[in-house]
């Protein structure tokens, strides 16, 4: 089990990959461009000749997941991960209770710090399995649905391990 979930898919396209990437380009705002109203486009990111790296354009939760894909002819590979910046923030949240528990153990000893072990473990478990997992699943599902509509994905197979 990893701290940060990822999803990998093999996809089959309805049309040729160049047509799909062209449609995706129409719905994507370049990441170098700064615009005050991002909601007019579905995605923000970078699209090359056969691959792309996108995130949703929604201000509140859009940058949580990154969608990376590589397309060839009428199929491709899609990988959904948590954004690196978000990972750093979440790692800091994981470290705060651990640092607090360690400080308490050093300062007060094991006997006086036993009451902090369960809340520390509960915080870490709730952060990982409720906040991170639930957020990832919801946002990845929304992004995958929009991506499916735009590039015309016919079939999705899960569990592909190479990118």
Secondary structure (DSSP) of 92-106: HHHHHHHHHHHHHHH
Q: What percent of the chain has pLDDT over 90?
A: 54
pLDDT, tens digit, for every residue of 54-79?
999 887 888 899 999 999 888 899 99
Q: Could you tell me which residues are beta bridge partners of residue 44?
A: 29, 55
Rounded to two decimals, what is the model's pTM? 0.85
Strand order in the sheet with 51-56: 28-30, 43-47, 51-56, 65-72, 75-82, 7-13, 153-158
Q: What is the mean pLDDT of each run of 10 residues along the chain (163 residues)?
A: 89 87 88 63 88 88 92 90 95 94 92 90 94 95 93 79 45
pLDDT, tens digit, for every residue of 80-91?
999 999 999 999
């Amino acid at each position: 089990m990893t701290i940060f979930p990822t999803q990998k898919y093999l996809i089959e396209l309805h049309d040729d990959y160049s047509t799909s990437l062209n449609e995706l380009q129409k719905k994507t705002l370049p990441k170098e461009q700064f615009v005050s109203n991002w909601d007019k486009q579905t995605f923000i990111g970078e699209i090359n000749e056969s691959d792309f790296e996108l995130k949703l354009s929604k201000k509140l939760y859009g940058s949580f997941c990154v969608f990376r894909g590589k397309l060839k002819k009428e199929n491709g590979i899609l990988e959904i991960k948590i954004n690196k910046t978000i990972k750093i923030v979440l790692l800091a949240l994981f470290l705060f209770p651990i640092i607090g528990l360690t400080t308490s153990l050093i300062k007060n000893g094991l006997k006086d710090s036993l009451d902090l072990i369960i809340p520390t473990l509960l915080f870490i478990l709730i952060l990982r399995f409720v906040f991170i997992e639930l957020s990832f699943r919801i946002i990845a599902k929304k992004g995958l649905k929009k991506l499916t509509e735009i590039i015309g994905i016919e079939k999705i197979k899960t569990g592909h391990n190479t990118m």
